[in-house]
Amino acid sequence: MREIIDPAFDALVIVDVQNDFCPGGALAVPGGDRVVPVLNRYIQRFRELKAPIYASRDWHPPVTKHFQTYGGAWPPHCVEGTKGAAFHPALALSPEAIVISKGMDPEQDAYSCFQAQDAEGRDFAVSLGEGGIQRLFVGGLATDYCVKSTVLDALHEGFQVVVLQDAIGAVDVQPGDGERAIEEMGAAGASFTTLEEV
């Protein structure tokens, strides 16, 4: 289905395209950097239309219950201020893009962008509300964690969601996790698109 982007209602949300989630990183999504050139095209498109662009980042303290050493599920990754936490160098974020950060609370995993704040400390949902945004186009990493959590929370909060099917990648801790996440997002009401359709 062809999606007409309306800058008054639509926003692009790029989830966690950070070095640690890309090949060579501490928690690499297999082929994760494959999403970068595709997302750059979406960025270009949203930019041309003057539609808002958000980019989230995992931004953990060195000690957090999110990491295996402290009882969590994951090796250390995206520690605030490190190279691993930086956006992939080829991600062509526009200067207007709004960076939102999550995972700073050492007690919380914070997979969802709805647990993120912008540089002024404003919650993502508040920022979207102030912008009058009603529909989110979501891509990035990882399909089975932060993308899925963000999409499910967005639907729960009453946003329409379009998942960028050609610009997501899964960790696949268990084979098929990514496919199951796609089914779950669809069952919850998300729709899916690719570059050719926007």
Catalytic residues: 16, 102, 146
Query: In the window 125-154, what residues touch ligand VGL (CB under 6 A)?
Result: 141-142, 145-146
Query: In the window 99-118, what residues touch ligand VGL (CB under 6 A)?
Result: 111
Nearer to ligand VGL (CB atom), residue 97 or residue 146: 146
Q: Is 71 helix (H, G, I), strand (E, B) or coil?
A: coil
Nearest to 11 by CA among 85, 94, 78, 87: 94
Where do the H-state alpha helices sit in the chain?
A: 35-48, 124-130, 148-156, 177-187
Size of the site for ligand VGL (CB under 6 A): 11
- The distance from CA 162 to its chain's CA centroid, rounded to whole angstroms, is 13
Closest distance to ligand VGL from the beta carbon of 16 (Å): 4
Closest distance to ligand VGL from the beta carbon of 51 (Å): 23
Closest distance to ligand VGL from the beta carbon of 134 (Å): 25
Any idea what DSSP says for residue 197?
Answer: G
Query: In the window 10-39, what residues touch ligand VGL (CB under 6 A)?
Result: 16, 21, 27
Nearer to ligand VGL (CB atom), residue 74 or residue 124: 74
Cβ atoms within 10 Å of 87's Cβ, excluding its own: 19
* 55 in contact with ligand VGL (CB under 6 A): no
**Which residues are within 8 A (CB) of 48 and not within 5 positions of it... i.e. 6 or more apart?**
none
Closest distance to ligand VGL from the beta carbon of 157 (Å): 19
Nearer to ligand VGL (CB atom), residue 111 or residue 159: 111
Between CA 137 and CA 108, with CA 123 as vertex, the angle to 5 degrees is 95
Any idea what DSSP says for residue 85?
Answer: G
Query: In the window 57-76, what residues touch ligand VGL (CB under 6 A)?
Result: 58, 74
Residue ranges with strand state E in 37-158: 53-58, 98-102, 117-118, 135-141
Q: Are 55 and 93 in contact (CB under 8 A)?
A: yes
Closest distance to ligand VGL from the beta carbon of 9 (Å): 26
Name the residues that contact ligand VGL, by CB under 6 A: 16, 21, 27, 58, 74, 111, 141-142, 145-146, 171
